[in-house]
């Protein structure tokens, strides 16, 4: 009976050592796989951050382009407004000078007609 107990204790010890060894190998593999998974996740996060940064840069460029276009449109609208004002002033001045010239022509023509009529009567 004592021999069975010693054999049983030996088997238990061997089994415990085998289980400890297997657990250590399993733990090492698990650590290795966790580290590999963490590396993959870190790589994907880095790639995602780079892609986000690229898109933000592209968006900034588009916003800057649109702001520049809006500023250009505003400048063009101001220029158009100033040109319209200038053309209106020019038109008013030309119209005034046209009436002055027309009035002078009418007075001269009337004067010449009166002069010719008075010469004919005399």
pLDDT at 81: 95
CA dist list (Å): 50 to 7, 39, 57: 63, 16, 10
Distance CA 63, CA 55 (A): 12
The sign of the CA dihedral 13, 19, 25, 30 is negative
* Whole-prediction pTM: 0.50
Q: Which of 36, 37, 56, 58 is nearest to 48 (CA)?
A: 56
Task: Evaluate if residue 13 carries a pLDDT over 90.
Answer: no
Distance CA 32, CA 42 (A): 15
pLDDT at 9: 79
Give 48 or 17, the one with higher predicted confidence.
48
pLDDT at 119: 87
Please provide the average confidence, as pLDDT, over all residues in the chain: 92
How is the chain split into domains, by residue range? 1-89
Distance CA 92, CA 25 (A): 99
Q: What are the pLDDT digits (tens) for 96-106?
A: 999 999 999 99
Band (pLDDT 50/70/90 cuts) for residue 10 is confident
Q: Give the ranges where the chain is alpha helix by DSSP (H).
A: 2-121
């Amino acid at each position: 009976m004592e021999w069975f107990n010693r054999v049983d204790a030996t088997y238990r010890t061997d089994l415990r050592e085998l289980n400890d060894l297997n657990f250590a190998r399993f733990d090492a593999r698990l650590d290795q796989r966790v580290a590999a998974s963490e590396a993959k996740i870190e790589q994907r996060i880095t790639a995602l951050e780079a892609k986000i940064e690229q898109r933000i840069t592209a968006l900034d460029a588009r916003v800057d382009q649109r702001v520049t276009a809006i500023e250009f449109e505003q400048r063009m609208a101001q220029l158009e407004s100033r040109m319209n004002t200038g053309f209106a002033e020019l038109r008013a001045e030309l119209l005034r000078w046209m009436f002055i010239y027309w009035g002078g022509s009418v007075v001269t023509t009337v004067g010449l007609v009166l002069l010719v009529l008075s010469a004919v009567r005399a």
